[in-house]
Amino acid sequence: MTDVLSPAQFVSEVAFNADGLVPVIAQRVQTGEILMFAWMTKETLEHTLQTGEVTYFSRSRSRVWRKGEESGHTQRLVEAWIDCDGDVLLMKVDQIGPACHTGAPTCFFRRAGIKPDV
C-alpha cells in the first residue's frame, strides 16, 4: 500500500504553491502526536531530506529557518510522506524538547469542549 520514492522523485512530486511553498505537518514519530505545522521551499525540503535536519521557511521572517537553530529544540527527520495530490507533506520526526515556541510540547494545546455525544 505504501509507495517508496527516491528523494529526487519525492521532491519532483511536490506541488509547491504560487509562493513556492508547501505546507508541512510535523508528527512525533514515537507517539503520533501532532507537533506543529509550517512551510518548506524546494530548497529547505531538499536540505531536510539530505541531512535529516528538519528545516522550514519562515513566512513571517521571510527566511530559511532550521527548526531549533535558536532554541536548540531541533527535529530530526525519520520519515517523509507526501499526500495524494502532492500539496501537503507529513514529516515524522524525533523532536528534541518542546516543539512550540510557547514552551508547550506541541503547538496544539487548546481544544474545544464538545459534548462526547456529538
- Show contacts with a copy of itself in window 13-52 (CB under 8 A): 13, 23, 25, 27, 31-34, 36-37, 49-52
Site string for a copy of itself, 58-97 (x = CB under 8 A): -------------------x-xxxxxxx--x-x-------
State residue 2 phi and psi, 5-degree precision: -95, 130
CB 95 within 8 A of CB 28: yes
CB 54 within 8 A of CB 36: no
DSSP state of 72: S
- Residues making contact with a copy of itself (CB under 8 A): 1-7, 10, 13, 23, 25, 27, 31-34, 36-37, 49-52, 77, 79-85, 88, 90, 100-102, 104-105, 107-114, 118
